[in-house]
Amino acid sequence: MMSIEVEVNLKIPRVTIRSANQPDQVIDNSTTRFATVTSVPAIPKPGAVLQLTTNDTPLECTVTRADWNEERSRFVLSCSYAKRSMSAAEYDALINDASWTQKPLF
């Protein structure tokens, strides 16, 4: 079975980092996307759930669209984080995983 290399462009929710001795810190991710390259058996349809990982932490996202990118010669999957909220540990795993790139939206 052949796999297809795709770029995942992930939108994540705001993250609240709670600390016992400091005020809660809210990280607004509305203007940031996280990207990685992965292999899939077939191009997923919108609504499909992708199982990804960040530093061995499972990460589930829902595909919102798939577009061919001529410059990169591959499909770019736009995805949203599958759950309503992301834990500080999941966020930490994502931003510290070298295979994921943080991309600001302009």
* pLDDT score of 94 more than 90: yes
Burial of 6 (0-12, 13-18, 19+ CB in 10 A): buried
Considering the entire predicted model, what is its pTM? 0.89
Instruction: Provide the number of structural domains found in the chain.
Output: 1
Domain encompassing residue 85 = 4-104
Alpha helices in 2-87 (DSSP H): none
**pLDDT tens digits along 22-46:** 899 899 999 999 999 999 999 999 9
pLDDT at 22: 87
Percent of the chain residues topping a pLDDT of 90: 82
